[in-house]
């Protein structure tokens, strides 16, 4: 059995959605190598909870601001 590999898409520099129901995110991984991720757009929209993501991002930003004070 192949060992599971985890990659981090870091420094996202390209986003594209196609008429063929594909969404591309392109950037670099944690090692600086180019990484392209392709998603089924409809599945991506079904699975992503944008409101939750915004809420979690706000908590992260608030924590960063408190550290600076």
Domain boundaries, the chain: 10-68
Q: Are 10 and 27 in contact (CB under 8 A)?
A: yes
The predicted pLDDT at position 9 comes to 92
| Four-residue CA torsion sign, 58, 60, 65, 69 | positive
The predicted pLDDT at position 54 comes to 96
The predicted pLDDT at position 5 comes to 87
The predicted pLDDT at position 2 comes to 85
The predicted pLDDT at position 58 comes to 97
Dist CA 13 CA 57 (whole Å): 19
- Interval 10-53: pLDDT, tens: 899 999 999 999 999 999 999 999 999 999 999 999 999 999 99
This prediction's pTM = 0.73
Dist CA 11 CA 28 (whole Å): 6
């Amino acid at each position: 059995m192949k060992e599971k590999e985890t990659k981090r898409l870091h420094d996202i520099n390209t986003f594209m959605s196609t008429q063929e129901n594909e969404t591309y995110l392109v950037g670099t991984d944690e090692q600086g190598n180019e990484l392209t991720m392709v998603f089924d757009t409809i599945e991506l929209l079904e699975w992503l909870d944008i409101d939750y993501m915004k809420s979690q991002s706000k908590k992260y930003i608030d924590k960063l601001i408190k550290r600076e004070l």
